[in-house]
Amino acid sequence: MADVIIADGKLTPHASVSQVTLDWACGTDENDFELTIDDALAPNISQGWYFWLDGSDVGGRIIDRRVTVSGGVSTTTWIGQSWTGMLAAKILQPDANQDYLTVSGKLPDILKSLLKRIGLDSVFTVESSDASTLSNWMFQNPRYVDAYTGLRTLLASCGRRLDFKASGNKILLGIVPVQTITNTIDSDLVDFKAETNRRAVNHLIGLGSQELKNRLVVNYFADATGVVSQTQTLVGADEVCATYDYSNADLGTLQSETKKHLQELQTGGSVEVTLSDEVGDGLRVDDKIVATDQASGVNVTAVVTKRIVKIDSGILASTFEVGLPVQSANANYSGSSSSSSSSGSAGGGVSLTAGRGLSISGGTINAEVASEDLDAVRQVAESADRTASGFAAQIGKANQTAEDAKNVADAAKTVADSAKSGMMTDDERSKLASVERGANAYTLPKASTDVLGGVRVDGSTIVSVDGVISAHVGDGASGRVVFPVGYVVQNTTGVNPSVDFGGTWRQLPSLGCFTFERIG
């Protein structure tokens, strides 16, 4: 029976429980777990706690929970990241003003530095005596990579892999050589089914940036063993050609990505492997299995890409998926299938589950669209149409307002130009300044019984200090001042002059006072 250790956020154990159900995975995808505990010894678990199986790589950090109530019974399932999932949730990226993240030194020291860089040095303790060294090793293609993939790629370049182990209340992260299990088909350790694939692309034309005759073009070739280079060995009927479109790539990026893509296409075929218990228990992600059928001469290389561990009713079972390694392999055969170390039979490969609107029959996936799906789409479309119509109306109003403002501005410019044309020149202003104040003063005589001539001033006649006479004619009946058609009046109130003087007036554009012209 498997005992599960429950620890708090500081990796301090609080209990060991055995009544659990576990579904845990690590590898190329998933990297998570679901844990249900039905044990009286279980503590009050919180988000941020940990669990592990002592002495193994199985464990992880609790992040979420799912509560299910059925028949009045509540069940809590804890959901979280496996150790590999914690690494996959971090990104390795270049330093500021650097093209690539570059590392050098012994592998254990590099691993410690990178764990500190991503903030997981308090969770994982590096424990390895591996003396392998790297010099100016760069994380590229991609430059920004999740820490799990990045570390697997780095170690694979040295023939190494990650090795997780919970021991002494620590999560130890080791570096070990990739394990390769080699045997013949006559052995009872490995059963397999292999299918060759000579139809794989062996000539890939990469198309980059620019257009027509100036477009960047590169060519990469794979030989009969899957090795990729820029030298073509398979020609004529043996050539299988394809294009790789990367329209915004420069030359360097186009070369590296085209080569990488062609390497990924060199699967060589498919393989299904069944392992015995004694082999499966020791396998980890990135380990290799090599088998040979002496009768046919077929050679099989399978790489472990995923490990799944399940606990149910106290029984632990491990399942493996095999396929391509983290870096493209040149093996004769690789693919995607699964093997089980608990049942001794093939695991069946990738599992597809039909969702809403999908059905799977044999090897065919069918998509069905229900009427309610179309109704939902129709409602969204109608809502979007109404919104667009509303915006169109608002835009129309805004355009009209802008046009009106332009007309007012044009009229104001005309008035300003007219005013400018009537201004004095510098010479005229100079002459005016030389005239003494009062030199042209004139006092208009006022007519009286003693003074003949002059002007008799009444209520409708105004004589200003400069001698200007302003006379207004009333309408006779009301005594109001009457302005003839064509007269212009200004005021500061904005009130139409028709209120005080009668007649029909129109307002003229003005930059100062309100200006009105009598038109009737």
Question: Could you report the per-residue pLDDT of 139-175, keeping only the tens digit for each?
Answer: 987 899 999 999 999 999 999 999 999 999 999 999 9
**Contact present, 25 and 252 (Cβ < 8 Å):** no
Mean pLDDT within 339-365: 35
**Contact present, 82 and 26 (Cβ < 8 Å):** yes
> Is the pLDDT reported for residue 288 higher than 70?
yes
Query: Would you state the structure tokens that stand for residue 236, as one six-digit string?
Result: 């004529």
Whole-number Å distance between alpha carbons of 197 and 332: 9
**Contact present, 504 and 517 (Cβ < 8 Å):** no
- pLDDT score recorded for residue 511: 83
Give the up-direction half-sphere exposure of residue 181: CA atoms within 13 A in the CB hemisphere.
Answer: 23
- pLDDT score recorded for residue 16: 93
Split at pLDDT 50, 70, 90, the class of 372 is: very low
- pLDDT score recorded for residue 339: 35
Mean pLDDT within 325-343: 33
Split at pLDDT 50, 70, 90, the class of 371 is: very low
Task: Provide the CA 319 distance to its chain's centre, in angstroms.
Answer: 34
| Residues sharing a CB contact under 8 Å with residue 103, sequence separation 6 or more, in sequence order | 110, 113, 114, 134, 137, 139, 154
Q: At what angle do helices 107-117 and 147-156 cross, to 10 degrees?
A: 170
- pLDDT score recorded for residue 364: 35
Lowest mean pLDDT among 34-43, 174-183, 382-391: 382-391
| Residues sharing a CB contact under 8 Å with residue 518, sequence separation 6 or more, in sequence order | 483, 484, 485, 486, 487, 488, 489, 497, 503, 504, 505
Whole-number Å distance between alpha carbons of 234 and 240: 8
CATH level 3 topology of 91-177: Phage tail protein beta-alpha-beta fold (3.55.50)
Q: Is the pTM of this model over 0.85?
A: no
Sign of CA dihedral 206, 211, 212, 213: negative
Mean pLDDT within 433-438: 67
Whole-number Å distance between alpha carbons of 426 and 416: 19
Q: What residues are paired with 306 via a beta bridge?
A: 27, 321
Find the Cα–Cα–Cα–Cα dihedral 112, 118, 121, 127, rounded to 10°: -30
Query: Would you state the structure tokens that stand for residue 505, as one six-digit string?
Result: 């007036």
Whole-number Å distance between alpha carbons of 111 and 133: 11
Whole-number Å distance between alpha carbons of 138 and 101: 6
Question: What rounded mean pLDDT belongs to the chain?
Answer: 78
Q: Is 349 left (phi over 0), alpha (psi -120 to 50) or beta?
A: left
**Contact present, 358 and 373 (Cβ < 8 Å):** no
Whole-number Å distance between alpha carbons of 25 and 318: 10
Identify the residue whose tokens are 């998509």. Answer: 367
Whole-number Å distance between alpha carbons of 453 and 475: 27
Split at pLDDT 50, 70, 90, the class of 449 is: low
- pLDDT score recorded for residue 147: 96
Per DSSP, the three-state class of 226 is coil
Whole-number Å distance between alpha carbons of 262 and 242: 10
> Is the pLDDT reported for residue 392 higher than 90?
no
For 40-51, give the secondary structure using H, E and C: CCCCCCCCCCEE
Nearest to 54 by CA among 175, 165, 128, 163: 165
Mean pLDDT within 86-110: 96
Mean pLDDT within 242-256: 93
Task: Provide the CA 405 distance to its chain's centre, in angstroms.
Answer: 42
Give Dmax (Cα) for the chain: 153
* 508, containing H or E segment: strand 505-508
- pLDDT score recorded for residue 265: 85
Q: Identify the residue with better confidence: 470 or 21.
A: 21
* 469, containing H or E segment: strand 469-471
Nearest to 19 by CA among 33, 7, 35: 35
- pLDDT score recorded for residue 335: 31
Q: What is the per-residue DSSP string for 280-349?
A: HTT--TT-EEEEEETTTTEEEEEEEEEEEEEEETTEEEEEEEEE--SS----S----EEEETTTSSB--S
> Is the pLDDT reported for residue 209 higher than 70?
yes
Query: Which of 1-15, 262-276, 362-376 is most confident?
Result: 1-15
Whole-number Å distance between alpha carbons of 50 and 86: 12
Q: Give backbone dihedrals phi and psi of 209, rounded to 5 degrees, phi first.
A: -75, 175
**Contact present, 447 and 455 (Cβ < 8 Å):** yes
- pLDDT score recorded for residue 9: 95
Question: Which percentage of the chain shows pLDDT scores above 90?
Answer: 43
**Contact present, 160 and 107 (Cβ < 8 Å):** yes
Mean pLDDT within 63-70: 93
